Amino acid sequence: MASMTASERLALIRENLAEILNPEIIEKILDEGRNPKIYWGTATTGRPHCGYFVPAIKIAQLLAAGCDVTVLLADIHGFLDNLKAPLELVAHRAEYYRFIVKSILEAVGVSTEKLRFVLGSEYQKSPEYVMDVYKMSSLISEHDAKRAGAEVVKQTDNGPLSGLLYPILQVLDEQYLDVDAQFGGLDQRKLFIAAKDWLPKLGYRERAHILNPMVPGLHGGKMSSSDQDSKIDLLDAPEVVTKKIKKAVATPKVVEENGVLAFVEFVLLPAAALRGKREFTVERERDGLEPLVYTEIANMHEDYRNDVLTPQLLKPAVARALTQLLAPVQDAFQASKEWQDITLKAYPPPPKKEKKVKDKGSRHPGKQNQQELPIREAQ
């Protein structure tokens, strides 16, 4: 980072983003030679999957650009979001997330020296924070709170009041984490717009917001923790990764909503760049042809539209590159008894169903004999 100019640092921060709100805040800090302080929050609920590589790679780029990055393990947020999990379970999951995020960054060779982890419950229960929640609750309408959390909080016709508190907490986090900017997905844009309006109501300054695009999952839609076929777990074995990639939706010649190509664009190419060599290789040895080597996604898109790069060539290449990317994460898991133990606490296996003994009725011969046996013994 020491050798990077302010414009180079900004270019790395901007790479693959959908949008930056109030970019002048970040630009001013870089021009002054300082390090922007940025936070990314994640509600510690479902088990992280390969979709988490998308924000993790952006975090890696922010660190490489010299930013001071805070990862908020939002345990109270996870509890508030339609009460998805009890607080005790959410706390274990926060520790699991800490292991996952750190290991992903280390897998792409990025130092986590300037990475800070903060548990939401460490400061969100302080008197000052709670008082600010009360103050903001008195200034924000129900309509505005629902609108801000529309694409972030699960909303139902008669949902719990906690869903309205969720966006208020996320906005206040910017102040209490003492950051210059918040990073999140494009689905949080309404909440980020609200933050620009709400914080000054309490006399706090506006922050910048950097937004990742919504990257399609393997089936075209959002990669979901609840859909086993749409996601690849970070601890999946190579053969499982290959099988899931093989089943992924990748319509020939169609680039739009192509989750396999999107994964190359937002994870595999940037990860390769962070490790020192930005390229993605597609082997064509079976066809007796030279491999296709890409350094820019635009060239891949062009070849895919022209059927030079086919799904049959692309999928094995993605599976191979992803397996290599996951290897250090999985090695770290195998080497850590602490991580293994916290996994069982955070995501305990479902209880085994007890086999029900079928009641054959009192007229069943065996049943009759059992009933008569004590009588004979008594005689």
pLDDT in tens, the chain (379 residues): 558 999 999 999 999 999 999 999 999 999 999 999 999 999 888 888 998 999 999 999 999 999 999 999 999 988 887 555 677 888 899 999 999 999 998 888 888 888 999 999 999 999 999 999 999 999 999 999 999 988 877 666 777 788 889 899 999 999 999 999 999 999 999 999 999 999 999 999 999 999 999 988 877 665 555 555 558 999 999 999 999 999 998 999 999 999 999 999 999 999 999 999 999 999 999 889 999 999 999 999 999 999 999 999 999 999 999 999 999 999 999 999 999 999 999 999 888 776 666 665 655 555 555 554 443 444 3
CB 45 within 8 A of CB 28: no
CB 42 within 8 A of CB 183: no
**Which residues make beta-bridge pairs with 19?**
211
Query: 3-class SS at 183?
Result: strand
Domains located in the chain, CATH noted = 6-212 (3.40.50.620), 238-346 (1.10.240.10)
Cα torsion 4, 7, 8, 14 to 10°: value is: 140
**Which residues make beta-bridge pairs with 74?**
43
Cα torsion 148, 152, 158, 161 to 10°: value is: -70
pTM of this structure: 0.85
> What number of H helices and E strands is found in the chain?
16, 8
Which letter, b or e, does each residue of 256-274 get, where b requires 16 or more Cβ atoms within 10 Å of its Cβ?
A: eebbbbbbbbbbbbbbbbb
Strand locations in the chain, DSSP E? 19-21, 37-43, 68-74, 115-119, 181-185, 208-212, 280-282, 292-294
